[in-house]
């Protein structure tokens, strides 16, 4: 039981990071029906930006909490800028083309970003210094839930609530929902489609950047390739919950996190990355629309 609880909690932490990335996938898919393959890369760039800015500030002798805040902020800003730029460069010219074109373009962007970071920085694994504080009140339960995990959980929960409220109650959120439902109709009633799509990419990328900083602090290392695997897993989580649905992405992420944790704990750790794929295949066979997804009727 003890072992189970530990696995369960580490799975929850993992799941909440997947959720941060999966939200970006699901929002983008909901609005432009595109699997944004480069999303994982944006998350990796967020991690790298935080490492670089954090390193620069730390060596200049700044206080740790300030370093943390500024490096997360710069990761968010730069990732969001990357997301925005990617959309303008590679997806916008293909908006009215067959959907597979945009998917192929997304694969291209993913390759470009990976190799860009590889060439501009390094191909080695870099250890990622953890600027996250050690929380005193967690000391008695540290074996089950360490500070990093706790911070991850709280951050994800906060962001999730904020995002849901934004989409439910603000003007921009309304515009996003309208665009997701029917792009042409939204345009007819005066919604700035391009603005909404850009904003979606910006929000998604910003969330990914937060996820990137958190997971790199959690794992303690970073590499140009981390975005790819995390991106695929987050995508699996999004599909699992029903792509296009925000609560679905969160639910799917937790299920994925738990499965991976319990699977590596009880079955075998060799196949850690395979569990996600097995779940994906099973879900797509049994319930292609995901757990909370709406059943999509084909129209002729």
Partner 1 sequence: MERNKLLRDLRSSAIIAAWFSVLLFPLLVMKVSVTGGQALVRFRWERLPAIAVAAFVLSFAWRRALEWNEARGDKPSGSGPIAALTVKARSALALRPIRLTATLVLLAVAAAYPFALGMYHTNIMITALIYVILALGLNLVVGLGGLLNLGYAAFFAVGAYTYGLLWKYAGPAFVSAGLDPGWLFWIALPTAGVLAAIFGALLSLPVLRLRGDYLAIITLAFGEIVRMVLQNSGEVTGGATGISLIPRPWFFGLRLPPRQAATYIYYIAVALVALTVFVVRRIEDSRVGRALEAMREDEIACEAMGVDLVRNKLITFSLGAFWAGIAGVLLAAQTTYINPDSFTLWESITVLMAVVIGGTGSIPGAIGGALLLKLLPEYFRPLAQYRMLIYGIAMILVIIFKPDGLLPRNRKKYTFDGSPSAVGAPVAAGDQEARR
- Half-sphere exposure (Cβ direction) of 205: Cα atoms closer than 13 Å: 28
**Contact between 73 and partner 1 (CB under 8 A)?**
no
For residue 253, state whether it binds partner 1 (rule: CB under 8 A).
no
Name, in order, each residue with C-beta under 8 angstroms of 264's C-beta and a sequence gap of 6 or more. 272, 275
| 223 lines the binding site for partner 1 (CB under 8 A) | no
Contacts (CB under 8 A) with partner 1, residues 102-141: 103-105, 107-112, 114-117, 119-122, 126-129
> Is 100 near partner 1 (CB under 8 A)?
yes
Which residue number, 9 or 57, has a Cβ lying nearer to partner 1? 57
295: region left, alpha or beta (phi > 0 left; psi from -120 to 50 alpha): beta
User: Angle formed by the axes of helices 2-32 and 39-59, to 10°?
Assistant: 110
**Dist CA 245 CA 252 (whole Å):** 10
Distance separating alpha carbons of residues 36 and 14, to the nearest angstrom: 21
Q: Which of 65, 99, 182, 266 binds partner 1 (CB under 8 A)?
A: 99
Contact assessment for residue 267 and residue 276, using Cβ atoms and an 8 Å cutoff: no
Closest distance between partner 1 and the C-beta of residue 236, in Å? 8
Q: Which is nearer to partner 1, 110 or 245 (CB)?
A: 110
Which one of the spans 87-95, 170-178, 244-252, 253-261 is the region binding partner 1 (CB under 8 A)? 87-95
Which one among 85, 158, 166, 181 touches partner 1, defined by CB under 8 A?
85
Q: Please say which residue, 129 or 173, places its beta carbon nearer to partner 1.
A: 129
Which residues contact partner 1 (rule: CB under 8 A)?
34-35, 45, 48-49, 51-56, 58-59, 74, 78, 81-82, 85, 89-90, 93-94, 97, 99-101, 103-105, 107-112, 114-117, 119-122, 126-129, 232, 235-236, 239, 270-271, 273-274, 276-278, 280-281, 284-285, 288, 298, 300
């Amino acid at each position: 039981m003890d072992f189970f609880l530990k696995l369960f909690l580490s799975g929850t932490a993992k799941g909440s990071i997947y959720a941060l990335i999966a939200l970006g996938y699901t929002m983008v898919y909901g609005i432009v029906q595109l699997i944004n393959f480069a999303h994982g890369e944006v998350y990796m760039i967020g991690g790298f930006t935080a490492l670089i800015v954090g390193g620069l500030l730390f060596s200049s002798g700044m206080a740790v909490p300030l370093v943390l805040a500024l490096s997360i902020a710069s990761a968010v800003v730069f990732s969001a800028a990357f997301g925005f730029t990617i959309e303008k460069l590679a997806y916008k010219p293909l908006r009215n083309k067959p959907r597979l074109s945009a998917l192929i373009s997304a694969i291209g962007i993913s390759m470009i970003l990976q190799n860009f970071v590889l060439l501009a920085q390094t191909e080695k694994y870099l250890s990622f210094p953890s600027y996250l504080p050690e929380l005193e009140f967690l000391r008695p339960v540290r074996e089950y839930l360490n500070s990093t995990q706790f911070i991850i959980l709280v951050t994800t929960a906060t962001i999730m609530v904020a995002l849901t409220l934004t989409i439910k109650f603000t003007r921009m959120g309304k515009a996003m929902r309208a665009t997701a439902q029917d792009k042409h109709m939204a345009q007819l009633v005066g919604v700035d489609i391009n603005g909404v799509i850009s904003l979606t990419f910006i929000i998604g990328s910003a969330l990914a950047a937060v996820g990137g900083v958190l997971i790199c602090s959690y794992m303690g290392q970073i590499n140009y390739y981390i975005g790819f695997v995390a991106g695929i897993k987050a995508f699996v989580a999004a599909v699992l919950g029903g792509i296009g649905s925000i609560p679905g992405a969160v639910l799917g992420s937790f299920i994925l996190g738990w499965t991976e944790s319990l699977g590596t704990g009880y079955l075998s750790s060799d196949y850690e990355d395979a569990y996600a794929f097995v779940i994906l295949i099973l879900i797509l066979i049994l319930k292609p629309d995901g757990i909370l997804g709406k059943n999509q009727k084909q129209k002729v």
